[in-house]
């Protein structure tokens, strides 16, 4: 992988194991669905990411990605798989072995999941605070209508 390809892949990638499309997504609907749909043969995927087909097969054997399969067993790679392959290339160029790459991808995926959880909790917290303010106002009104009473 050329240095400019490595830099581009690193800039475009948000980290972690990308969805592989192995969940049976139809490819219709959102951009995420289309990104997860396997459409590229292994030869095309290898050419697009600048690696060999044997390397891609090795990455699959090591559990770094799981492409979709046709009914006949042919591998089909999605845009998300290509993103993962580019990330693998970047990590290998940085000196990691495949075991290290797998750990990094797993940790990045876990980090993304935790970040999503945190965003959800922050949203829930805002909603609870708003509910709490409304309940406090209702309680003050019920206790005698004093709007400027100290917070409970």
Residue-level pLDDT at 140: 87
| Model confidence pLDDT, tens digit, residues 20-47 | 444 444 444 566 677 888 899 999 999 9
DSSP conformation class of 75: E
Residue 103 pairs in a beta bridge with none
Query: Residue written as tokens 């090591």?
Result: 62
Cα distance between residue 62 and residue 115, in whole Å: 26
pLDDT in tens, 49-77: 999 999 999 999 999 999 999 999 999 99
Please choose, from the candidates 71, 69, 88, 89, the residue with its C-alpha nearest in 3D space to the C-alpha of residue 2.
89
Dig out the tokens for 26 from the structure: 């139809």
The band of 9, judged by pLDDT with boundaries at 50, 70 and 90, is: very low
Give the C-alpha separation, 136 to 109, whole Å. 40
With 0-12 / 13-18 / 19 or more C-beta atoms within 10 angstroms meaning exposed / middle / buried, residue 10 is: middle
Instruction: Note whether 81 and 21 are within 8 A (CB).
Output: yes
| pTM, 2 dp | 0.60
- The rounded percent of the chain whose pLDDT value lies above 70 is 74
């Amino acid at each position: 992988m050329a240095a400019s390809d490595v830099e581009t892949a690193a800039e475009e990638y948000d980290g972690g194991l990308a969805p592989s499309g192995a969940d049976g997504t139809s490819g219709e609907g959102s951009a995420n669905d289309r990104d997860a749909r396997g459409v590229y043969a292994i030869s095309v995927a290898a050419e697009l990411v600048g690696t060999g087909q044997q390397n891609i097969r090795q990455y699959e054997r090591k559990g770094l990605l799981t492409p979709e399969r046709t009914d006949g067993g042919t591998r089909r790679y999605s845009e998300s798989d290509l993103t993962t392959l580019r990330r693998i290339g970047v990590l290998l160029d940085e000196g990691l072995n495949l075991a290290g790459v797998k750990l990094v991808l797993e940790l990045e995926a876990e980090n993304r999941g935790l970040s999503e959880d945190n965003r959800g909790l922050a949203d829930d917290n805002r909603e609870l605070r708003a509910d709490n303010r409304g309940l406090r106002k209702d309680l003050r009104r019920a206790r005698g209508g004093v709007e400027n009473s100290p917070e409970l």
